Amino acid sequence: MQFGYARVSRVDEPGNPSQIRALREAGCERILTEVASAGRWDRPELFRLLDGLSPGDIVVVTGLDQLSRSFKEVLHLLDRIARAGAGFRSLAEGIETMGPAGHMLMRMIASFAAFERVMLLERTGAGLVKARAAGRVGGRRRKLDAKQRREIAECILSGDRTGAEMARQHGISQPTVSRIVAEHRLSAGLGQRSV
């Protein structure tokens, strides 16, 4: 079955009859329309279409920009269509993924997507190495500085305050208070004991 996908950017645009007409002329038996920006990821009609694809189905759009403005996202969506065993056609660009030439194109697209993933991992890894060399450690910054953490541990260990009181006072969870006390005990050589 051929499915058409038509997207308009604004609610005040009138259903874009030229897109729908072009999809009907291309032989689409069912057309899904959506009002959403191509830059948005939350497009329920598109994902309903992709989730319902069966082998042999064909997704037709009037142009690649109907899927996304991001090349990476277009590659991801085309890969998802291919994994469903379906084909893809873009009328404006003359792209078709059916037949031998289409299979070759899909393999090229999959190669580009894999290359992009490898490049992203390499860039991320290089960034982490550079950050560590500069003395930065990944993860979220601690909410409390060393002095506040020491005060929390000492108040609890001396019996002046409870873990729940310190958690409320500093806006942290009780398990965080327990970890702070445990870390303080280890660093002070006091051994482990329940809080």
Q: Is 9 assigned a catalytic role?
A: yes
Q: At what angle do helices 44-51 and 71-83 cross, to 10 degrees?
A: 30
CATH class of 2-98: alpha beta
Instruction: Tell me which long-range contacts 154-158 makes (C-beta under 8 A, separation of at least 24).
Output: 154/184, 156/181, 156/195, 157/181, 157/184, 157/185, 157/190
User: Any idea where the domains of the chain sit in the sequence?
Assistant: 2-98, 146-188
pTM above 0.85, yes or no: no
Q: Would you give per-residue pLDDT tens digits along the chain (195 residues)?
A: 999 988 876 654 555 678 888 999 999 999 988 887 655 667 888 889 999 999 999 999 998 878 777 777 887 888 888 889 898 998 888 888 887 887 787 777 767 767 877 888 898 888 888 888 888 777 677 788 889 999 999 999 998 889 889 999 988 988 899 999 998 888 877 655 544
Catalytic site residue from 9, 18, 70, 187 = 9
Tell how strand 87-90 and strand 95-96 pair up.
Answer: antiparallel
